[in-house]
Chains A and B, each alone.
Chain A
Amino acid sequence: MASNQTLLTAGTEDRDLTRLEEYRAVGGYEALAKARALEPQAVMDEITAATLRGRGGAGFPMGRKASLLAKDTGRPVYLVVNADESEPGAFKDRDVMRFTPHRLIEGCLITAHGIGSTSVFIYIRGEYLHEFEVTRAALEETRKAGLLAGVTIVLHRGAGAYICGEETALLESLEGSRGQPRPRPPFPPVTGLYDAPTQINNVSTIALVPKVLELGAAEFAKIGVPSAPGTAVFSLSGNVAQPGNYERPLGTTLRELIYDIGGGVANGRELKAVIPGGSSVPVLTPDEIDTPMDYDSIQAAGSFFGSAAIIVVDDRCCMVQLALRAAQFYMHESCGKCTPCRVGTRWLVQLLTRIEAGEAAPTDLELLENVCDRMLGRSLCALGDFAVYPVSSYLRKYRAEFEAHVTGAGCPFVGESSIEGIIAPIAQHAHPVPEVVGG
């Protein structure tokens, strides 16, 4: 098992893979030719056999998802690529699009063939203007080279809403409605985009498809771990010495990623907390960093693989402030459709603001916990849960810090926390929540 074999970023170290002839020079579009010579079902069987799990966060096997597509509905089958990457700490899909867009396009074309689709939509977050332009140029090259073969790929730009990374909210946004999730059932493979059967996958999942076809399922499965084969691009950020994207096999431990690859905690500080999968997952403490980064292991440790966006927190950071900042993010991004998330995210911000200001009582901690309990599992989509995980896990694992805030001792960092005074967008909005202090 080569520990530095790359799949997603293969070839990007020394070639400009945004250009078609460079991509071809490293074997680009050969997997497509191979796939098109196969029966569509054979392509999907290969993907299923490779146990390619979705790299968007949920880790749902791509092949199994495709097997749920409704057949013979009289409607077209759509492929939708989720390039709305907005999870705090995540920046992996961005690199795929700006450094190796052709790999994404090839993945789209192979998948389209496999599921019987001639209509692909790539929903790319609005802020990624440069990545959109690069991908658009690559798409034009592909079109001119005659590689599309009747498949249309539409690049659809988002306009700034984290919730549009949720599958059904993305579909709503694509259709021209407000980006609010739909109740499931029905599920997108049955009723998805424009009421038609739809396969939705993350950018990185689709961009792995060419390598799956190139290597074959058996070889692919040799990389990573049996329950989660292949590589993932781990995004290191926060108080780490060498932040950045690092493609490694699934199963690499957090310790390896932070210390061996990331250079350890920056500025010689102590590690205090690690959020393994983007801000939406429960926090892990330093004694938990020997957990391998694969879906099942991280879940067993009480968190989630998510976007593999590893945020490193050092000992200068007040966890109450961090909880507040996270809560402010979810309040800003809540779509407002369902009651627990719309109301709960705001209530969490109000409670944490009061706690951080030293104006709360111990009963407020119980209330905070209970509000979290009452939100968890009750919302229309996972955002309601994501808003809870940071708050409830920081409270659970750093309780002493929270208690210090409410027993008259105040914030232990006495104005010196590394994120002291951080201003969240929600605090500067046109209709400010008056009692929310920006910091």
Chain B
Amino acid sequence: MRPEAVAEIQRIRKRYPRSRSAVMDALRIAQTEHGGWLPPEAFREVADALDVTPAYCHSIASFYDMYHLEPVGEHLVEVCTNLSCALAGAQAVLDAFASELGVRPGETTEDGGFTLRAVECAGGCGRAPVVVVDHVYHEPVRPEDVAGLVEGLRGE
């Protein structure tokens, strides 16, 4: 982690009466510093920055869906498959991504370009099916939109 990142964590700590409250943001920062996931080293760094143990940091990170404990691709493609999106045809969208990317849901492409996964309700049910790409909402996404979307990402 770069010194700037550590400094940011120390700034965030000051917002709260108890410094542990900063752990969620600290883990988020460490995750960005480590290319989108949290290797064991990241937990040691966060632990050091907050005066806590790496075990505690790992305990927190493993509780939430947005922390990745395994490497992820350059692009994170998340397709909501909860009730409303399912009713609106989300599986076909997920299938289209799997086919376009050549990877199964939950897995990362071999070239490390994409991680595809199904997620629970993203909060875009009014414009389902919802796909979140690198934390940006795309709503709605139809199967026929997938190829273009992926091509655009590949171009980046």
Contact = CB atoms under 8 A, between A and B. Distances in A.
Interface of A: 85-91, 94, 125-130, 154, 156-162, 173-179, 194, 235-239, 243-245, 275, 279, 309, 311-314, 317, 322, 325-326, 329, 332-333, 335, 418-425, 428-430, 438-439
Interface in B99-156: 104-106, 117-128, 132, 135-137
Contact of B24 (A88, A173, A311): A173
Interface string B1-29: 00000000000000111111111110110
Chain A interface, >50% SS class: loop
Contact of B125 (A88, A158, A313): A88
Closest 3 pairs (CB-CB, A-B): A176-B20, A428-B106, A160-B65
A428 B119 CA distance: 10
B134 to A, nearest CB: 10
A239 B105 CA distance: 25
Contact of B86 (A127, A174, A177, A422): A422
B42 interface: no
Given A86-B120, A311-B84, A425-B119, 8 more contacts: A90-B125, A125-B123, A159-B24, A194-B18, A275-B83, A312-B87, A326-B83, A335-B63
Contacts of A317: 87
Interface string B64-76: 1111011000000
Contacts of B105: 423, 428, 438
A347 B124 CA distance: 29
Contacts of B64: 126, 158-161, 179
B55 interface: no
Given A235-B125, A313-B87, A332-B120, A88 B82 contact: yes
Contact of A428 (B20, B118, B125): B118
Contacts of A176: 18-24, 60
Contacts of B90: 422
Contact of A174 (B21, B122, B125): B21
A332 B63 CA distance: 11
A424 B126 contact: no
Contacts of A275: 83
B49 interface: no
A160 B126 contact: no
Contacts, number: 173
Given A91-B124, A326-B83, A423 B15 contact: no
Size class of the contact patch on chain B: 35 or more
A424 B105 CA distance: 10
B87 A311 contact: yes
Given A176-B20, A194-B18, A161 B65 contact: yes
B91 A423 contact: yes
Interface of B: 15-25, 27-28, 59-60, 63-67, 69-70, 81-84, 86-91, 94, 104-106, 117-128, 132, 135-137
A314 B24 CA distance: 40
Residue of A332, A424, A430 most packed against chain B (CB within 10 A): A424
A92 B108 CA distance: 33
Nearest to B132: A127
14 contacts: A88-B82, A126-B64, A154-B16, A156-B24, A157-B24, A161-B63, A161-B65, A175-B21, A238-B84, A279-B83, A314-B87, A421-B91, A430-B106, A438-B105
Nearest to B79: A423
A418 to B, nearest CB: 6
A245 B127 CA distance: 10
A329 B105 CA distance: 16
B84 A89 contact: yes
B126 A419 contact: no
Contact of A126 (B15, B18, B66): B66
A311 B123 CA distance: 13
B85 to A, nearest CB: 8
A313 B20 CA distance: 43
A94 B89 CA distance: 23
Contacts of A91: 123-126
B126 A425 contact: no
Contacts of B91: 419-423, 439
A245 B126 contact: yes
Residue of A156, A279, A438 most packed against chain B (CB within 10 A): A156
